Structure 1
Amino acid sequence: MVVLGIAVLVALAGQVAVLDLLKQLAYLVLGLLLPGTLVHRLLRGVQPSWVADLALGAATGLVLELMAWAAFTSVHLQRALWAWPLLTLLLLLDRTARGRLLARPTQSWGHWPVIALGAACALMVLLTYGGYLARYPLPPSGASYYPDLLWHLGLVHEATRSVPLLTPQSTADGVLRYHWFSDAHIAADSLMTGTDAAVVLLRLWIVPVLVLVVLLTAVLAQRMSGRPWVGALAGWLVIPTVSYTFWPGTVDALDHLSPLSPSQVFSSALALLLVITLADLVRATGRPGRGTIAMALLAALATSGSKSSALPVVLGGVGVAFVAALVLRRNRLLVLGIGVVGAALTAAAYPVVAGGDGGSRLHLFSALSLFPFFRQVVTPDPDVSTPVVRDLLHTPGIGPVLLVALLMVVLLSFVRLLSGVLPFFQRSLRSDLAAWLTAGMCLTSFVPFLAIAHPGYSEFYFLYGAVPVGSALWAWSIGELVGDSRTRARAAATSFGVMGVLSSIAAVVVHRRPAPADQAAQSAQLWAFTLQVGLYVLVVLSLLAAARVLRRPGRDWLLPAAAGVVVGPLLVTGLWGLGEPRDHEPSSSDPQLRSLSQAAAWIDRNVPLYDVMATNDHCLWGTGTDTSCDAREWWISGLGGRRVLLEGWAYLPGVAKGAYHDLALYALNQAAFTQPDASTLGAVRARGVRWLVADTSAGPVSPDLAAVTDKVFESGTVSVYRLR
């Protein structure tokens, strides 16, 4: 209730209307939690605890909602989507199933684990408010929005119109090829509650799903370990979104739970549902239940279209689990079957709902060039045309220490994924296929991260997708090391606290220091960091060596102490996020942006939902005929919510940065504004265009346009014309 109260206060502080908030709460309970819990119980029975029962039920509700949305929208009954949860209530009419559906969990997590997990959820809500809700005002406004938010908002509006989705930012490109399931969920929320899509995207949907990710991470850890406090620890470990900071004057943000990527957050919840179900399957000693298999298949289908990197990460874990199954001689055919089905789903999803590759290619260590100190030491515009990033190995005056430092930063930033090595050394995990499944996800996610280059550095999403699983595996490992010993528990808690304090002091000291300006100072900073990490590793290895040498009763506290040294700073970096600035902050109110927002509001109110518009505004900067164009201008399809013949094209499959692939269509589109004769306007009208949106700040607009069309709106540099 405390978490719910904080979430309500956060929503009200974000200027959400009370009626919209009440409708959202009813939607979450009646539209997701209730039907999802009923169906999950029907397939798998009541879960041991209320935490697991409700968290898995909510995640199942997300899967069912996608299916209901697709069914209702395909027959143009999406406005009646609010009625779909009523269909699940029919399950209660079956006398055989009624007992399973109405059963109550029999196990309790206990007061302190529940309080600790609730505190973690509350922290997640507060981090979301400070890093997202408070930074992006509701439209219309004069603030700038992170471009991806407007891209997703355009897809949300499109999801209220059709299935499969067309490409609202470029109707000429037909059916959208992108991982849009998160947008379908937000659209379903808007359709069922009647709340404006922008309010749902910018305020209402994100907090429940982020809290669900924390809960599912806790459920995964508790399920594997059998200890509720381990689940609460995992809930805390998954939250930190600020990584280890060592370069003076910078803050390294970790975006594995960033609201700026709705697909990443949504896929995390669905992937966790899948991993929890698969863990139960690979652990089965007898014949797996049909309901569990059905649940795994449904979760895999939903995960496949939520993020193109999500299912491949799970498949990496399945592959490692299969090798372990061969060694352990257990469930080999089952794990092989899971891998085959998963690979088939991945292959089937890629050409349909897994686009957004945007010019990805094989390129070693490209991801390392994103880190701030690489941009300061080497170049702000990295050259990735060579097999390895230029100057990464032989930076003048610095040498290969730069590569070593970068790899160290990756390992420190993603220390949660280092849990992938634990089953190799920890006997209690080594014989458990669920441990190899989760460890495999952590380890194999580094392969595409280091081997793929994406213009927007989307290779990071492979690591982001494995962070919740790595958090659960670390917590499980610590739970096995501590066991029921109070001595080991005190040792782990002490090392957690000491490392938390030390890392906080180090972060404050480093952050306040000015960034090194000359090459000598930069080189010294890199060497100092490398030596510090070496000392850090030496401390951990010393504790492990001492634990092995001093194998006597009373000395077994050294192992949990070593684990606390490794992951202890994470518990503090979660709190850092409350006071640290974030990237992508919107600028202060701008008259030009306010004109765009007001025009979008007029379009949303006055242009029919299915009409197509044309615009001369395509690029955030540059021009649409050369490689200088950053084609992420999406305010008409996003804020206005209408389809556009050709708006921004940056996220079309195979497109990265530069000119549009169909130069003839681009020329015709621009001619409608610069040479609006009868032939040109007739040609764009033949392509379905009914409205023109002209922005004189984006390019020249002929004064004759008003004579051959009906000018219906004007604000600043933006005018809207209706074709006759």
Structure 2
Amino acid sequence: MQGGAHAVRGRRRRGTAAVRWLPALATAVLVVLVLGFYDVSAADAAAFAAYFALAIALPGTLVARALRRGGGRTLAEEIAVGTALGYAIEVGAYIAARAAGQPLLVAVWPVATYAAFLAVPRLRRHWRRAPGPLAPVWWSWSIALLLAYLVVWSATVFRLHDVARPGIWAADPDLMYHLALIGEVRHHMPPTMPAVAGEPLHYHWFAYAHFASASWLTGIEPLILETRLAIMPLMIGLVVLVGVAGRRITGSWAGGALAAAGTVLVKTPNLYLGLNRMFTFGSLDTTWASATQAFGAFLFVPVVLLLFDLLGRGRGGAGRWLLWGILMVVLSGAKAAYLPLLGGGLAAVIAAELVRRRRIHLPAAAALATTGACFLFTQFVMFGGRRMGMVIDPLYHTSLAWRALTGTGPSFEDSFTGVLNMTVIYLLCWAVALCGVFVLLSRARPHREPGLPLILGIGAVGIGGTLLFAYPGIGQVYFVMGAHPYLMTAAACGIVVAVRRARPSYRAVAAAAAAGVAAAYAIPVLCDVRVPLERGQDETVLYRPYLALLLAAAVVAVALVALVGRARAAALVVVMLSAVSLPTDLHTRVLPAVKTVVEHGPRRMNVPVSEQMMPPRALTALRWLRDHSHPDDLVATDVHCESERVFMCESLSFWTSAYAERRVLLEGWAFTARNMEHWRPGRPVSAPYWDRERLLANRRVFEDPSPSAVRHLAERYGVRWLFVDERWSRAAARLDEVAVPRFRSGNFSLYALPSAAGQ
């Protein structure tokens, strides 16, 4: 009888475990199906899954367990933090391996980790997780549903970036720039600017070390890694860790789910008829467009999560500080915008401690000093002391929004009153989205844990940095995008506090949320403010929808106070206002993309070869060059310039260096530090190329080829290959007389200069 009871309990435990793994399994199946539909082969998917599990997640988790010690953590947190550590160690290992000329030596670190954790008795216990809480099944399913939402959105991005026909979107400068840098880091250490040979690379490039390592270990094309595979675990890990951080701050699983939902779904409310993209930037908007943002955003969450322990009483320890320090070093070279955010958060912790206890919070001060050292490393080592286009220009962001919403255009002179009005509206939008934070700030007894001041400080610097700085291509929004998950976590904490204190019924909470969503649809129709405004229309009408929302909230609050009391009324109004922001992401990002998919199909419409910046034959030629040249060979090309106008070159062209994985004498210079130094608000992103001699030498070979021109290019600059677009070059036929033709694909030809002809 007793043996039978044990068997029944064993079956129940196995059944419960299986149920708990179902959300993760469902998410994995959905990801595999979507990736397979969008041209990721089963072999590539399997290779990447094995690489991710065995070379990143598992060894990183083992090391993280050894450094953190103790229990009290969920399995999801352990794996996510361990994965972040795995990425960080991999970056350092790859830099060392690539510098030694043996990139595959990066595999030594996971192998050595396994050997140590199998051989050393004190480390063997870390193969089993320490006791810790189990996430409720409903929480796991809520995270899985959020991830499903992101996977559906990702599918709409995959449609645009068709890996089977990359020439259709080769004009995308950001993706091509990232791909070119992945190729550069695959073959060179330290890296330089591949699109302008010899130009130093002043950029946060550590993310590309991860992509390069993954490519070497799996054999997967960097294009597939960048646009399909490598970003997916970063995005998933970010959402999981934000959910964990939310649970730690709020003390409830519901708070964690709200924080994760806010990160994915909530943006400042758009109550106009028409899009207002200048106000509605979220943390995941550029996930697939910016490898550095995706990598930095994921690494930053465990940095913040670990600080919850390190800044608390008796929860530090040398191992946790070491783990935090490793992540900080790699974060410094992954995305520089996160260091000021963290500095602001730590300063808030120190200020709160001074106010509360009249003393310095020593762990926070130590962390702030470390952050400052990392910032100096980024500024003077990674960026070479350059400002990289960043300038102080207060309210530049809202001036752009004013022009966009009033329809005045970029050439219209700013109205100080108009920009000031737009700034007020911008802050009002954030006040609506973050109304839960006001619950926390209104409490008589401040939050005693340092985690809340930390994330509030991060959020304040995020919004403040966006309003204070200007950057080409509205890059100042990376401040608020980086802070977005922590603003949402703080708002979730406020909602949980309000609901706990008032204890309204679940029906009342659901009704308040539904009312907020309904208001988000009704107010734009009732107020009828369409943007951009018609010329001559009074810009103060832009206030109308938000004032209507506040008036409606006030009326509802008065009515609820009479019906259910002040505390419950406050909680329900906070829920209602928070829900107003829910439809924004759906309408600004997902529904337009889904509509396009419905109207035109899940595949991108075909673009005639004649209209493609990089036709398929060009890709064939560049792949041949990659396979038949040395990584140190230098290429000269004319594909970025119009033949008839010698000095009219496209400074945002990067696809030659991206697909050839070779350095180019002169291709695109817009993102170089030297070009960025010239940028000021109101100017074009790119200035004319500064080296007239190089420009003329490069052009002369393609416009008027001669033995002396070719010899000068080879001897003066070390060029070994010419990549020619014969659609524009009228003198291409004459190149046969001065260089050695090696490969032709349609209108694209490759020539070896005499010194390289025998290679």
Tell me, yes or no, whether TM beats 0.5. yes
Q: Match of 2:334, SS?
A: coil
In the other structure, the counterpart of 1:610 is: 632
Q: Name whichever of 85-94 and 405-414 sits farther off.
A: 405-414
In the other structure, the counterpart of 1:110 is: 136
Percent of aligned pairs sharing the same letter: 25
Counterparts of 2:505 and 2:665, CA distance in 1: 64
Query: Does structure 1 retain, via aligned residues, the 8 Å contact 2:637–2:664?
Result: yes
Q: Name whichever of 679-688 and 244-253 sits farther off.
A: 244-253
TM-score, with normalisation over the residues of structure 2? 0.85
Which runs of no fewer than 5 residues in structure 1 stay unpaired?
Answer: 384-389, 394-399
In the other structure, the counterpart of 1:61 is: 86
- Cα deviation for residue 427 of structure 1 reads 4.6
In the other structure, the counterpart of 1:533 is: 546
Q: Match of 1:693, SS?
A: strand
In the other structure, the counterpart of 2:15 is: none
Matches within 5 A, 1:245-324: 245-250=270-275, 252=277, 254=281, 256-257=283-284, 258=286, 259-282=288-311, 284-286=312-314, 288-324=316-352
Which of 155, 158, 161 does residue 187 from structure 2 map onto?
A: 161
What is the alpha-carbon root mean square deviation over aligned residues?
3.2
Q: Name whichever of 559-568 and 113-122 sits farther off.
A: 559-568
Q: Name whichever of 340-349 and 706-715 sits farther off.
A: 706-715
In the other structure, the counterpart of 1:648 is: 668
Counterparts of 2:231 and 2:728, CA distance in 1: 33
- Cα deviation for residue 710 of structure 1 reads 1.6
In the other structure, the counterpart of 1:694 is: 724
In the other structure, the counterpart of 1:559 is: 570
Asked if 1:579 corresponds to 2:591, the answer is: yes
CA gap 1:288/1:543 in 2 versus in 1, 3 angstroms: farther
Matches within 5 A, 1:13-52: 13-45=37-69, 46-52=71-77
CA gap 1:414/1:4 in 2 versus in 1, 3 angstroms: farther
In the other structure, the counterpart of 2:534 is: 518
In the other structure, the counterpart of 1:365 is: 395
Query: Does structure 1 retain, via aligned residues, the 8 Å contact 2:523–2:548?
Result: no
Counterparts of 2:166 and 2:91, CA distance in 1: 31
In the other structure, the counterpart of 1:148 is: 174
CA gap 1:218/1:496 in 2 versus in 1, 3 angstroms: same
CA gap 1:408/1:516 in 2 versus in 1, 3 angstroms: closer
TM-score, with normalisation over the residues of structure 1? 0.89
Counterparts of 1:110 and 1:622, CA distance in 2: 67
Query: Does structure 2 retain, via aligned residues, the 8 Å contact 1:423–1:435?
Result: no
- Cα deviation for residue 661 of structure 1 reads 2.4
Counterparts of 2:437 and 2:504, CA distance in 1: 26
Query: Does structure 2 retain, via aligned residues, the 8 Å contact 1:416–1:470?
Result: no
CA gap 1:242/1:227 in 2 versus in 1, 3 angstroms: closer
Query: Does structure 2 retain, via aligned residues, the 8 Å contact 1:139–1:198?
Result: no
Counterparts of 1:360 and 1:318, CA distance in 2: 23
Q: Match of 2:723, SS?
A: strand
Q: Match of 1:579, SS?
A: helix
Matches within 5 A, 1:195-214: 195-214=220-239
Q: Which amino acid aligns with 2:545?
A: Q
Query: Does structure 1 retain, via aligned residues, the 8 Å contact 2:405–2:532?
Result: no
In the other structure, the counterpart of 2:465 is: 448
- Cα deviation for residue 315 of structure 1 reads 0.9
- Cα deviation for residue 299 of structure 1 reads 1.5
The one-character-per-residue Cα deviations of 1:549-576 (angstroms, maximum 9, x if unpaired) are 88x9964222322321232134434444
In the other structure, the counterpart of 2:657 is: 637
In the other structure, the counterpart of 1:468 is: 485
The one-character-per-residue Cα deviations of 1:350-375 (angstroms, maximum 9, x if unpaired) are 2333479543322222222443x623
Query: Does structure 2 retain, via aligned residues, the 8 Å contact 1:241–1:256?
Result: no
- Cα deviation for residue 34 of structure 1 reads 0.3
Q: Which amino acid aligns with 2:656?
A: I
The one-character-per-residue Cα deviations of 1:324-373 (angstroms, maximum 9, x if unpaired) are 121122662221121111111101112333479543322222222443x6
- Cα deviation for residue 204 of structure 1 reads 0.7
Q: Name whichever of 1-10 and 78-87 sits farther off.
A: 78-87
Asked if 1:671 corresponds to 2:689, the answer is: no
In the other structure, the counterpart of 1:346 is: 375
Counterparts of 2:350 and 2:83, CA distance in 1: 30
Query: Does structure 2 retain, via aligned residues, the 8 Å contact 1:675–1:702?
Result: no
In the other structure, the counterpart of 1:719 is: 749
In the other structure, the counterpart of 1:591 is: 609
Q: Match of 2:473, SS?
A: coil
CA gap 1:208/1:481 in 2 versus in 1, 3 angstroms: same
Counterparts of 1:315 and 1:165, CA distance in 2: 28
- Cα deviation for residue 216 of structure 1 reads 1.1
CA gap 1:553/1:40 in 2 versus in 1, 3 angstroms: farther
Q: Which amino acid aligns with 2:751?
A: Y
- Cα deviation for residue 420 of structure 1 reads 6.1
Q: Match of 2:326, SS?
A: helix
- Cα deviation for residue 498 of structure 1 reads 1.6
In the other structure, the counterpart of 2:206 is: 181
Which of 391, 402, 406 does residue 377 from structure 1 map onto?
A: 406
In the other structure, the counterpart of 1:680 is: 709
- Cα deviation for residue 3 of structure 1 reads 0.6
Compare CA radii of gyration and give the structure with the larger one: 2
In the other structure, the counterpart of 1:386 is: none
Q: Which amino acid aligns with 1:440?
A: G
Matches within 5 A, 1:422-461: 423-427=440-444, 430-461=447-478
Q: Which amino acid aligns with 1:708?
A: V
Counterparts of 2:725 and 2:46, CA distance in 1: 39
Count of aligned pairs between the two proteins: 700
Counterparts of 2:352 and 2:30, CA distance in 1: 44
Query: Does structure 2 retain, via aligned residues, the 8 Å contact 1:142–1:589?
Result: no
Q: Match of 2:372, SS?
A: helix
The one-character-per-residue Cα deviations of 1:164-200 (angstroms, maximum 9, x if unpaired) are 2122111221x41111122222222212211111111
In the other structure, the counterpart of 2:623 is: 601
- Cα deviation for residue 662 of structure 1 reads 2.1
Q: Which amino acid aligns with 2:609?
A: P
Q: Which amino acid aligns with 1:495?
A: A
Q: Which amino acid aligns with 2:626?
A: D
Query: Does structure 2 retain, via aligned residues, the 8 Å contact 1:116–1:232?
Result: yes
Q: Match of 1:613, SS?
A: strand
Q: Name whichever of 22-31 and 500-509 sits farther off.
A: 500-509
Which runs of no fewer than 5 residues in structure 2 stay unpaired?
Answer: 1-24, 598-603, 677-685, 755-759
Matches within 5 A, 1:379-398: 379-382=408-411, 390-393=413-416
- Cα deviation for residue 221 of structure 1 reads 0.7
CA gap 1:382/1:473 in 2 versus in 1, 3 angstroms: farther
Q: Which amino acid aligns with 2:415?
A: L
Counterparts of 2:644 and 2:427, CA distance in 1: 33
The one-character-per-residue Cα deviations of 1:562-605 (angstroms, maximum 9, x if unpaired) are 32123213443444443223999988424242143343333334
- Cα deviation for residue 75 of structure 1 reads 1.4
Q: Match of 1:172, SS?
A: coil
CA gap 1:314/1:196 in 2 versus in 1, 3 angstroms: same
Q: Match of 1:721, SS?
A: strand
Q: Which amino acid aligns with 1:693?
A: F
The one-character-per-residue Cα deviations of 1:356-401 (angstroms, maximum 9, x if unpaired) are 9543322222222443x62363543347xxxxxx3232xxxxxx35
Query: Does structure 2 retain, via aligned residues, the 8 Å contact 1:309–1:461?
Result: yes
CA gap 1:193/1:411 in 2 versus in 1, 3 angstroms: farther
In the other structure, the counterpart of 1:662 is: 691
CA gap 1:429/1:124 in 2 versus in 1, 3 angstroms: farther
Q: Match of 1:85, SS?
A: helix
Q: Match of 1:556, SS?
A: helix
Which of 89, 108, 120 does residue 94 from structure 1 map onto?
A: 120
Counterparts of 1:588 and 1:506, CA distance in 2: 40
Query: Does structure 2 retain, via aligned residues, the 8 Å contact 1:613–1:693?
Result: yes
Q: Which amino acid aligns with 2:634?
A: V
